[in-house]
Structure 1
Amino acid sequence: MFSFSDAQIITDPVLRAQIEQHPRAQELLRAFLYPYAAPEHDFLFKVDACEPVKQVDTVRLAYGRIPVLAVGSNRAPVQLTRKFSHQNLSDEILITHGWMDHHDIVYSAHMTGYGAIPATLASSPGTKVRVAVTWLTAKQLSHMHVTESVPSHYSYQQLHGRDIELDCGLKPDHVGTYQSVAGHIFDQSDIFAVSAIQAQGRRYKSFNQWNMIEYLARRAGYVMQPEFVLRLIDDQALRTAVTTRFSIK
């Protein structure tokens, strides 16, 4: 659940007021607040709590687990709770943070069923982007595949770990990543970085989530309002029609 204090991240006061006053405010906040607030430090996710993790404990907690990049909402406790709290997967999840060279986190050219335009990883020579790594058991990874709609929306791939430097000092040889099947190139070869994710030497124009939804609406010939997003949530056929009009496969 989101609170109205969470909505303060939305800098457009008119849009923020429309969302706060709407009877479906929770659904709208889920769409507009993506990729959601997350700790900047390493932490251990539990269904009922998140605990900071000391550097000396990360090796023990990561042992035997599979490192997987979390470039969007999978680094956020609210999303991890939504994905894992009802799956009888009671094992904890370690989340570590670091930097990745020559890449950026950008918007995927598709929309989720809950109305957000999600993130994916893109090559970006000279850019250093802040990343998170989730350390998953095999069962957790299998369930994560389901939540990421593999293979219809994302493909699961392995990347060499050489471009990643984690704050805790762990050095995975390879990391898994979910790459958007729709790609990340929009009309006129535009690529948009996720402004909520910190980066150095960013090459691409950065947008927040409501900027991206406005872009989607404008390119598809609609006016960006909360009702537009709710229509997309409720109508999969409309959502598909709108996104295929601005994406380039």
Structure 2
Amino acid sequence: MRLNGNVTLTEIADAAAYLAPISEIDRARKYPYLAPEGGFVLANGRLFHLDEAQLSNDHADGILAGRTPVLSVGSNRAPVQLLRKFGMAATVPVTPARLHDCDIVHAAILGYYAAVPCTAFPSPGTVVTLNVAWLDAEQLVQMHRTEGIGVAYDFVQMQGVTHQFNLPVLPVFGYAARAGVLDCGGGEPAGLAAIPAEGRRFQTLDQHQAATRLRQLAKIDDNRTMAQFIADMQADKPARDAVIERLRPYAIQPQNPPWHLQTVTIDGIDAYL
């Protein structure tokens, strides 16, 4: 792949590890999926390295031009999820970033594919290693849909994001769970074990542990295996909605969060709820 300025990007050698198809059950079990360190470009179903030197030689009308930077806190960090959302023909540049004074924690909802998703939550002194997806206008609309905008998540302008590359000074946006975060004990949330952080204040849970906690709180910790529970939830939206309703007493809302709500009106979200 070639950028403006005659810069050629090299393909990531182990790209298959990040792009391999995931079964419907594993969409929940393996959330939030593998993501490469540093920058990358997803283009035509292939994965390329992207570093700061390459971007510095890209012209002003280059690969980031006209795109909106969106902080990825969960599965959107992962190439396999970007590929699922935007398709084989898409080009999505991704740059490394850090989020300060927040952690990434389990949200008090059950996603439409039965994962316990995540969201940012204030945590003074914590620094989380994430990435930023640079989305064109069409991709941003599709991302809004897949985030269940206005129902599951709000679109927000983030504070406390620092780029690891020297990039244009632009607002960075993201998504915040409307339901709040899951009380994982003692009135506190739990960070995602799969997301690296410095100065973490909360305990961490992996996806299986978070789903187990969710089932306990929603009083559906029956004799079904986790795979059976996932399959049942994926197939039954009213059952998912009932779980989310039962979680309301165990949801924690952030106080003075470091983000600002953005007004977005969009249709086509029902398939992602």
Q: What TM-score, normalized to structure 1?
A: 0.82
- SS of residue paired to 2:181: coil
Unpaired runs of at least 5, structure 1: 1-5, 7-24
Residue number in structure 2 paired with 1:143 = 142
Letter in 2 for 1:150: I
Residue number in structure 1 paired with 2:270 = none
Alpha-carbon distance in structure 2 between the residues aligned to 1:159 and 1:26: 32
1:126 CA drift (Å) = 0.6
Alpha-carbon distance in structure 1 between the residues aligned to 2:241 and 2:216: 16
Residue number in structure 1 paired with 2:10 = none
1:185 CA drift (Å) = 4.1
Residue number in structure 2 paired with 1:108 = 107
Give CA deviations for 1:184-204 in whole Å, capped at 9, x if unaligned.
143752311111000011011
Residue number in structure 2 paired with 1:229 = 230
1:149 CA drift (Å) = 1.1
The structure with the largest helix share of the pair is 1
Residue number in structure 1 paired with 2:192 = 194
Letter in 1 for 2:102: H
Alpha-carbon distance in structure 1 between the residues aligned to 2:169 and 2:194: 25
Contact 2:119/2:181 (8 A) holds in 1: yes
Superposition pairs for residues 31-42 of structure 1, below 5 Å? 31-42=28-39
Alpha-carbon distance in structure 2 between the residues aligned to 1:118 and 1:243: 12
| Structure 1 pair 164–236 and aligned structure 2 pair: CA distance change class (3 A) | same
1:124 CA drift (Å) = 0.8
1:180 CA drift (Å) = 0.6
1:47 CA drift (Å) = 3.3
Contact 2:71/2:174 (8 A) holds in 1: yes
Alpha-carbon distance in structure 2 between the residues aligned to 1:150 and 1:108: 15
1:56 CA drift (Å) = 2.1
Alpha-carbon distance in structure 2 between the residues aligned to 1:112 and 1:62: 30
Contact 1:165/1:171 (8 A) holds in 2: no
1:165 CA drift (Å) = 2.4
Contact 1:117/1:209 (8 A) holds in 2: yes
| Structure 1 pair 44–120 and aligned structure 2 pair: CA distance change class (3 A) | same
Residue number in structure 2 paired with 1:22 = none
- SS of residue paired to 2:212: helix
1:176 CA drift (Å) = 0.7
| Structure 1 pair 171–128 and aligned structure 2 pair: CA distance change class (3 A) | farther
Contact 2:110/2:243 (8 A) holds in 1: no
Alpha-carbon distance in structure 1 between the residues aligned to 2:103 and 2:79: 22
Aligned partner of 1:29 among 7, 23, 26: 26
Residue number in structure 1 paired with 2:9 = none
Aligned partner of 2:69 among 67, 70, 73: 67
Number of residue equivalences = 222
1:219 CA drift (Å) = 2.0
Alpha-carbon distance in structure 1 between the residues aligned to 2:246 and 2:91: 41
Deviating above 3 A after TM superposition, structure 1's stretches of 4 or more consecutive aligned residues are none
Alpha-carbon distance in structure 1 between the residues aligned to 2:115 and 2:231: 11
Letter in 2 for 1:198: P
Alpha-carbon distance in structure 2 between the residues aligned to 1:54 and 1:81: 21
Alpha-carbon distance in structure 2 between the residues aligned to 1:92 and 1:65: 11
Unpaired runs of at least 5, structure 2: 1-16, 254-273
- Is 1:48 matched with 2:49? no
Superposition pairs for residues 136-175 of structure 1, below 5 Å? 136-160=135-159, 163-170=160-167, 172-175=169-172
The answer to which of 70-79 and 184-193 deviates more is 184-193
- SS of residue paired to 2:23: helix
Residue number in structure 1 paired with 2:128 = 129
| Structure 1 pair 133–210 and aligned structure 2 pair: CA distance change class (3 A) | same
Residue number in structure 1 paired with 2:207 = 209
Residue number in structure 1 paired with 2:244 = 243
| Structure 1 pair 42–100 and aligned structure 2 pair: CA distance change class (3 A) | same
Alpha-carbon distance in structure 1 between the residues aligned to 2:99 and 2:174: 13
Q: What TM-score, normalized to structure 2?
A: 0.75
1:171 CA drift (Å) = 5.4
1:215 CA drift (Å) = 0.7
